[in-house]
Amino acid sequence: MVTIRIAIGEQRDASYDIMVGRGILQDIGSLVPSACRAARYAVISDATVAALYGAGVLARFADASLSAELFEFPPGEDQKTRATWSMLSDRMLARNFGRDAAVIALGGGVVGDVAGFVAATYLRGIPYVQIPTTLLAMLDSSIGGKTGVDVPAGKNLIGAFHQPRLVVADLDVLGSLPAAQLVAGLAEAVKHGVIADREYFEFLEQAHDDVRARTAKPLEHAVTRSIEIKSEIVAQDERESGRRAILNFGHTVAHAIEANANFSLLHGEAVAMGMVHEARLAEMLGIAPRGTAQRVRALVAQCGLPLERPRESSIDDLLRIMQLDKKARAGSVRFALPRAIGAMQGNAETGWTVTAPEAAIRASLALD
Ligand SMILES: NC(=O)c1ccc[n+]([C@@H]2O[C@H](COP(=O)([O-])OP(=O)(O)OC[C@H]3O[C@@H](n4cnc5c(N)ncnc54)[C@H](O)[C@@H]3O)[C@@H](O)[C@H]2O)c1
Ligand SMILES: [Zn+2]
C-alpha cells in the first residue's frame, strides 16, 4: 500500500491521507475510524456500485462494530442534481443522523461530488471519506475537496469546497469497471502529464496499453503519480485562486462540448477532445512549440479516446457556451495552456490562464 499525504490550506494545517493499494477495502473497518471517527456512518453510493460493493463495505463496518447504513441513488451524470442532494439529506435526517455522523462516498466522481456536497451542508457540515471506484475518481475527482451538483445553467455550478478526511483507493475494484470508463479516466492522467510532468507523459506513451489492460504495476504507477501531481497542485491553492487553474487544461473546451452534447459524453471523453483543441490553440498563439499538439493528439488516440469535437457541435454554439462559463470574465474566454509537454504557461504574477482572440479559438476548433 502507498500512502500519499496531502497538506491543505495557508498554514498547511489540514491534512489527510490518500491510500492506494490492492484489497485495502477489506481494512476500512480500521482505516475509516482512525481517520474519521463517527458515531454513525452514512454510506452513499449509486445503485451499480452499491450492488457490487455495498454489502461488502457494510459487512466490514459491522465486523468492526461500527454503525453504518447505505443510501443509494440511480447511477449517471444526470443524477448529479439538487434533487439527489436533497433526497439523500432528507433521508439522513429521517434516520436521525446527527452532528456526530460522517459520510462515506462509495463510487465514481458523481457519487463523490454529490455525497461530498451532502457532507459539506448536512447540519452545516460533517466529515466524510472518499472511497473512489472509477479510475477517474481515484486519480482526480476524489482529491482536492471540490463537491457539488450540476444545474440547468451548467455543470458543477452549485457546490462547496469540503476536504475529505481520508481517501481509500482500492485498485481491485477497477476490475469490474467497464472499459470505456477506464479509458475515460486515462484522459485526466494524460492531462496530469501535460500540465506538470514530462516523464509521466512519456511513461503513458510507453505504457498506455498495459494501463488499459489493468496490468498491476503500470496501473498502480498511473494512479499514484496522478494523485501526487494533483495533490501537490491542490495543496498550494485549495480554492483555485492561482495555480490550481492549470488543472483546467482541456476543460474550457470540454465543458462546452459536454453541455452542447447534453452530457451524453463521458467527462473523460470530452476532456480528451478539449486537450487536442486547446493544445492546438497553444501552438497557434505561439505559446507551445510546434509538434506539441500532435504529441498530445497521438497519445489521446493511443489511449482509445476521441480526438476532436463531435461534428454536430457547431463552433458558434461552443463559443457561446464558453463565453457563459463561470471561468470566463466579461465574455472573454480563458484557457490554461501548456508551453511544453510537462509545463504550463503562466506564473504567480500574470496568473495561470490566458485569453485568446476569437479567431484563434475558432481556428483551433476546426475539424481535421
Ligand atoms: N470534484 C472534482 O474535482 C472532479 C474532478 C473531475 C471530475 N469530477 C466529476 O466526476 C464525474 C465523473 O466521474 P466518473 O467518471 O467516475 O463517473 P460516474 O461516477 O458516473 O461513474 C461512471 C459509471 O461507472 C459505474 N461504476 C463506478 N465504479 C464502478 C466499478 N468499480 N465497477 C463497475 N461500475 C462502476 C457507475 O455506476 C457509473 O455508471 C463528473 O460529474 C465530473 O464533473 C469532479
Ligand atoms: Zn476533469
Looking at ligand 1, which atom is closest to the CA of residue 76?
Answer: 20
Angle between helices 55-63 and 28-35 (to 10 degrees): 70
Alpha-carbon span 76 to 83, nearest angstrom: 14
Check: CB of residue 187 under 8 Å from CB of residue 269: yes
pLDDT confidence of residue 12: 66
Looking at ligand 1, which atom is closest to the CA of residue 155?
Answer: 43
Pocket test for ligand 1, best of 6, 44, 45, 48 (most atoms within 8 A of CB): 48
Task: Quote the distance between the C-alpha of residue 346 and its chain's center.
Answer: 23
**Which residues touch 51 (CB under 8 Å, ≥6 apart)?**
none
Ligand 1: residue whose CA is nearest its atom 33: 177
Closest by Cα among 266, 194, 192, 183 to 234: 192
Strand partners, 128: 103
Task: Provide the mean pLDDT of the chain.
Answer: 95
Alpha-carbon span 22 to 359, nearest angstrom: 49
pLDDT confidence of residue 136: 97
pLDDT confidence of residue 153: 79
Chain segment 228-274, per-residue pLDDT in tens: 999 999 988 777 778 999 999 999 999 999 989 887 899 999 999 99
Which ligand is the nearest neighbour of the Cα of 177?
A: 1
* Ligand 1 within 6 A of CB of 244: no
Determine the distance separating the centroid of ligand 2 and the alpha carbon of 91, expressed in angstroms: 30
pLDDT confidence of residue 264: 85
* Ligand 1 within 6 A of CB of 177: yes
Return per-residue pLDDT of the chain as tens, 368 residues: 899 999 887 666 679 999 999 999 999 999 999 999 999 999 999 999 999 999 999 999 999 999 999 999 999 999 999 999 999 999 999 999 999 999 999 999 999 999 999 999 999 999 999 999 999 999 999 999 999 999 987 788 899 999 999 999 999 999 999 999 999 999 999 999 999 999 999 999 999 999 999 999 999 999 999 999 999 999 887 777 789 999 999 999 999 999 898 878 999 999 999 999 999 999 999 999 999 999 999 999 999 999 999 999 999 999 999 988 767 666 689 999 999 999 999 998 889 999 999 999 999 999 87
Alpha-carbon span 211 to 299, nearest angstrom: 13
Looking at ligand 1, which atom is closest to the CA of residue 188?
Answer: 6
Q: Which of 91, 214, 240, 295 is catalytic?
A: 240
Which ligand is the nearest neighbour of the Cα of 275?
A: 2
